[in-house]
Structure 1
Amino acid sequence: MSKGIKIVTIGGGSSYTPELVEGFIKRYEELPVRELWLVDIPAGEEKLNIVGALAKRMIEKAGLPIEVHLTLNRREALKDADFVTTQFRVGLLDARAKDEKIPLKYDVIGQETNGPGGLFKGLRTIPVILDICKDIEELCPDAWLVNFTNPAGMVTEAVLRYSNIKKVVGLCNVPVGMKMGIAKLLEVSADRVHIDFAGLNHMVYGLNVYLDGINITEDLLDKLTSKQSGITMKNIIDLGWEPAFIKGLKVLPCPYHRYYYQTSSILEEELESFKTVGTRAEVVKQVEKELFELYKDPNLSIKPPQLEKRGGAYYSDAACNLINSIYNDKRDIQPVNTRNNGAIASIPDDSAVEVNCMITKDGPKPIAVGDMPVAVRGLVQQIKSFERISAEAAVTGDYNTALLAMTINPLVPSDRIAKQILDEMLEAHKEYLPQFFKKQKSEV
């Protein structure tokens, strides 16, 4: 790789891209990126051009010899890439709004990566990611695929199961956000905090929390039981936790566990928000609009601080860290989504898990945790079943499999309600789900 590194970002017109660019600039001495290709689709061309121009200004200001290429031709971009990052949203924010709105009609939580919304985001995304995998196999077979398109766990599961790509890592900002939140709660710098992460994407637990190498899990859980811990995401309200519950759980939940442990309260809050400010997708649309107005400014040559409102803070920084560690064989510890290989005893070896790994030039090596505590094991296994069956439905376009996935998700109360939601959402997203409709056409 003496010629420098070629990185391709699919979904390059995303509002997160400036953070990615900032990360590559910061690490240039260790990670000599020579070419950065930002790829998008025709519907995203305007945003791609705005973000691309900002990326070029940022690199120019830093005085670095990184070439930025903008293209709508994915295959042209992928040729001989070293790393491919994916950060796209099939159907854009309008599709997310439907994922959030439709379930609410049935008194079911509407959320982009959990429950019915998570299923449908997976059904739309997985066929696209598998197409990208075919291109990677042909055009850059030695490249690493770093995916942070949600639902990241389900997408990683699908790539491991239904493609020939072995060099894939799924990435999420939730573990990083949890570590930062704990550092803030303890009023210490984040590098003094270490967490033993294990579970699945958006279903990850901190089994142990350390400060300066000393296990402080019990003390930390006591602090968490105050009304609001501050350890949450921009898109998830902090309702605090029932003190006795957290003490009984004995491990650190992630913000997304609120959907499972506080279902009725979250649903109530969502219904209220829907009446007043609309869905999270509509809020994000407004934030994006403001961000792109800022990005257009020809005098802007840094990542604006307003990007943190977007809810994905630390995503791109985590991606740059991961790429840097693979490239330089750093052998440091990072939580990522990868093949289990026995790290968590009660999850199949060939399934995707989110767990601390040593990051090497050969990719992530999962750190074995043994089994998950009995208190959380069942929920983790249930969500893994949901991810696997959802991935199968996405690949086969089989209606019965999709209904099964919807019904076994703990946020959906019955098979009948699952069917009603499934039918309405299939119709609403028809344009992006050809696999479910092609059979019917061939019968006509």
Structure 2
Amino acid sequence: MRFAPELKSFALCDSLHMPHVKKRYAVRAGVVTDQESYTPDIDSRFDMRIAGVNHFTWMLKAEFDGENVMPKIAESIREQAATEDTGGDVGAKAIFNNAIAHQLYEAFGYVPVCVSHTKEYVSFYQGHGVLEEIVPPLKIWETEARYDRHEAMWNQVDDFVTRKVPIGQFMEVMGPDHATDIIENMVGNLGQPFYVNSPNRGAVTNMSDDAFLELLCDVDMNGPVPRPVGEMPRGIRGMQEVVLDTHELTAEAVAKCDYGLLRRAMLTDPLVNSIADADAILKELLEHEKEVLPECWR
């Protein structure tokens, strides 16, 4: 199978699957009572636009029959936030996500979509404030639990590779996958849109065409074509550009094997608030990774 050169310039994101995300927010907006009630007619009347750096995405528009339903979505999130510390998943990735989503909505006027990661992009939940906050500081991820989870994943892959588990059971065990859904759509020319990471190409009108963003795209064998979004609001756009600068500087540092650029990338990151700490982190990281790094980094 041969793919167009354009396909080398996009990547999958694991946060948004187009049909599912619209259904979920349609329920929050009160457009439908449940996801099973969501129809193609409802879909055509629900104009929802999401964009941003990977996992730092925001709902920039949500209109049903021309009515702005984003306040209703935000209110649903606020109501759910009232009970999210009374049970359920309280791990670092999930805890207080609704409270954070509503607080960011109140601050910026738009709903963050991938809150479990968006909260890691902003500096408000790092515990550096003087006064007590409504939302407590982020928890450190449960590292050992994630190591165990990843080991189980690799063991599952090995079981399929070694035929310990027949490949015929793959779909039964794993179910549909975002990547395979996109491949099926491309090869079958099914015409379904997907959220993927792609060069902006004018979708967000006030950001550069080469900004690498998570966008709703039509994807076929010729590559992704982002659907129009409109402008990225001020404030949110500034945060997006800082993250993009961090990415660009990191990539340039790697390409040029330039420690000065790597240090600049680290200091550009919105979560870094100490030059001394940044230098110490980079020194320790390069020391631990020296055996697998190119000679120029040693």
TM interval, shorter chain, is 0.7 to 0.9
User: Is the aligned partner of 1:301 residue 2:159?
Assistant: no
* Alpha-carbon displacement from aligned partner over 1:143-170 (angstroms, at most 9, x marks no partner): 664xxxxxxxxxxxxxxxxxxxxx4321
By how many angstroms is 1:328 displaced?
A: 4.5
- 2: CA distance, partners of 1:326 / 1:190: 28
* Alpha-carbon displacement from aligned partner over 1:268-301 (angstroms, at most 9, x marks no partner): 511xx55xxx345413234326635864644673
Query: Aligned to 1:188, which of 22, 35, 44?
Result: 35
| More off after superposition, 407-416 vs 417-426 | 407-416
Contact persistence 2:62–2:70 (CA under 8 A): yes
SS in structure 2 at match of 1:175: coil
- 2: CA distance, partners of 1:211 / 1:234: 34
SS in structure 2 at match of 1:206: strand
- CA spacing shift, 1:268–1:205, aligned 2, 3 Å: closer
By how many angstroms is 1:432 displaced?
A: 2.9
- 2: CA distance, partners of 1:190 / 1:392: 48
User: Is the aligned partner of 1:241 residue 2:99?
Assistant: yes
Q: Which residue of 2 aligns with 1:364?
A: 224
| More off after superposition, 344-353 vs 261-270 | 261-270
Contact persistence 1:258–1:266 (CA under 8 A): no
CA RMSD of aligned residues (A): 3.7
SS in structure 2 at match of 1:345: coil
Query: Aligned to 2:9, which of 158, 161, 168?
Result: 168
User: Is the aligned partner of 1:346 residue 2:213?
Assistant: no
- CA spacing shift, 1:368–1:293, aligned 2, 3 Å: closer
By how many angstroms is 1:191 displaced?
A: 6.0
Query: Aligned to 1:204, which of 57, 79, 97?
Result: 57
Contact persistence 2:108–2:235 (CA under 8 A): yes
Unpaired stretches in structure 2, ≥5 consecutive residues: 128-134
Contact persistence 1:204–1:354 (CA under 8 A): yes
Q: Which residue of 1 aligns with 2:74?
A: 221
Contact persistence 2:207–2:232 (CA under 8 A): no
* Alpha-carbon displacement from aligned partner over 1:316-365 (angstroms, at most 9, x marks no partner): x3323333443444444322222222222332222322222233443222
User: Is the aligned partner of 1:269 residue 2:129?
Assistant: no
- 2: CA distance, partners of 1:190 / 1:410: 41
- CA spacing shift, 1:237–1:190, aligned 2, 3 Å: farther
- 1: CA distance, partners of 2:13 / 2:105: 24
Q: Which residue of 2 aligns with 1:258?
A: 119
* Alpha-carbon displacement from aligned partner over 1:342-389 (angstroms, at most 9, x marks no partner): 222332222322222233443222223232111311111110111111
- 2: CA distance, partners of 1:341 / 1:357: 11
* Alpha-carbon displacement from aligned partner over 1:214-253 (angstroms, at most 9, x marks no partner): 75322111111222399x9987123132545423433221
- 1: CA distance, partners of 2:174 / 2:208: 38
- CA spacing shift, 1:203–1:213, aligned 2, 3 Å: same
By how many angstroms is 1:427 displaced?
A: 1.1
Matched residue pairs, number? Answer: 266
Q: Which residue of 2 aligns with 1:154?
A: none
- 1: CA distance, partners of 2:180 / 2:251: 27
- 1:276-287 equivalences in 2 (<5 Å): 278-279=143-144, 281-287=146-152
TM-score by structure 2 length? 0.73
* Alpha-carbon displacement from aligned partner over 1:189-222 (angstroms, at most 9, x marks no partner): 4965664121111111121246699753221111
- 1:64-143 equivalences in 2 (<5 Å): 82-83=2-3, 142=4
Unpaired stretches in structure 1, ≥5 consecutive residues: 1-5, 7-81, 84-141, 146-166, 309-313
Q: Which amino acid aligns with 1:251?
A: Y
- 2: CA distance, partners of 1:211 / 1:290: 46
- CA spacing shift, 1:211–1:318, aligned 2, 3 Å: farther
SS in structure 2 at match of 1:199: strand
- CA spacing shift, 1:353–1:233, aligned 2, 3 Å: farther
By how many angstroms is 1:413 displaced?
A: 1.5
* Alpha-carbon displacement from aligned partner over 1:394-413 (angstroms, at most 9, x marks no partner): 21111011111111111222
